[in-house]
Homo-oligomer: A and B are copies of this chain.
């Protein structure tokens, strides 16, 4: 099994809904370092899982819709409680759309897994994995 990971980041404001979040219920913010991983059982004819350059561009395009924003005011996220875990899933789902539309240069059947990790500070991070 092979896996390729590319990394980028977003800088966003948001607030969380639920007493469990304590002070994070207030509007605050985060730099999320975002790692997107793509897994594949066999390499393609060029010897790669996906083109790392293209993967970085696709990830950057997905993140461009989120960065420098207040997530509380993004319509497509309105029904979500934007915890780190939920953002991992959201970004993974958006990457899956880009795979299906051909942006990544592979078809879903080529890949066995997508995983997205968000690092919110030096001592806390989360990840989500799904099939493509």
A68 touches B124 (CB 8 A): no
- Given A30-B29, A68-B26, A70-B27, residue A7 in contact with residue B124 (CB < 8 A): yes
Say whether B124 contacts A52, CB under 8 Å. yes
- A56 is an interface residue with CB less than 8 A from chain B: yes
Shortest beta-carbon distance from A91 to chain B in Å: 13
Q: Tell me the smallest distance from the CB of A11 to a CB of chain B, in Å.
A: 5
- B1 in contact with A30 (CB, 8 Å): no
Q: Contact check, B88 vs A2: say whether CB atoms are below 8 A apart.
A: yes
Interface centre among A56, A83, A130 (most CB of B within 10 A): A83
Given known contacts A51-B20, A68-B26, A126-B2, A121 and B85 CB-to-CB distance under 8 angstroms: no
Q: Give the residues in chain B near A43, CB-CB below 8 Å.
A: 83, 85-86
Residues of A within 8 A of B (CB): 1-9, 11-14, 17-18, 20-24, 26-33, 43, 46-49, 51-53, 56, 67-70, 80-86, 88-89, 105, 120-130
For the complex with contacts A9-B122, A24-B68, A46-B81, 9 further pairs of A-B residues with Cβ separation under 8 Å are A1-B130, A11-B28, A11-B121, A13-B70, A27-B70, A28-B67, A28-B69, A31-B121, A43-B86
